[in-house]
Amino acid sequence: MSTIVRKLISTANAAKPVAPYNQAVVADRTVYVSGCLGLDKDTMKLVPGGPTEQAEKALENLEAVLKAADSGVDKVIKNTVFLKDLNDFGAVNEVYKKVFNKDFPARSCFQVAKLPMDALVEIECIALTGSVTTQTVQ
C-alpha cells in the first residue's frame, strides 16, 4: 500500500492562525484550507470597516494560502462562508463574485452565533492541486 503525504501549509503571505491549527493541510491532491478571517497579516487585527472589508481581506488571505499549497481559486471545489449576520449575505456576495467569477465552486453560507475575534466573516474551502480540467455537465 502506498503512502499518502500529508503536507502542513504555512505562509507569511496570509494571517497566521488564531488557535492551534494550520492554515491548510494538503492530503494527496486535496487542499483543506482552514477558516480565513479578515485579519491584516502584519497586525493580526481585523481590518477596519464592516463585512465587505472583512470579506475582501479574508478572500485575500484565502488566495495566499491556496497559492502556498500550489493551488488557486480556479481549483476550489467547495467554499463555506460563515457570517455573523445573514443580512450581510448580499454585501459579501458582491466581494465574493469578484474573486470567484466563473466556474463557481459549490458553496454553503451560514449565520453563526459568534466567530473568532468577533469577526463578521470567515471563509474556508476545499481545493485541488496539480493539473485540473473543468467540465460542465448539463
Candidates 18, 25, 99, 109; catalytic one = 109
Residue 29: DSSP 8-state: T
- Active site includes 125? no
Residue 8 CB burial class (10 angstroms; 0-12, 13-18, ≥19): exposed
Distance CA 26, CA 65 (A): 11
Distance CA 82, CA 71 (A): 22
Distance CA 105, CA 75 (A): 8
Cα 74–78–13 angle (5° rounding)? 60
DSSP string across 104-128: PPEEEEEE-S--GGG-SEEEEEEEE
Instruction: Give catalytic residue positions.
Output: 109
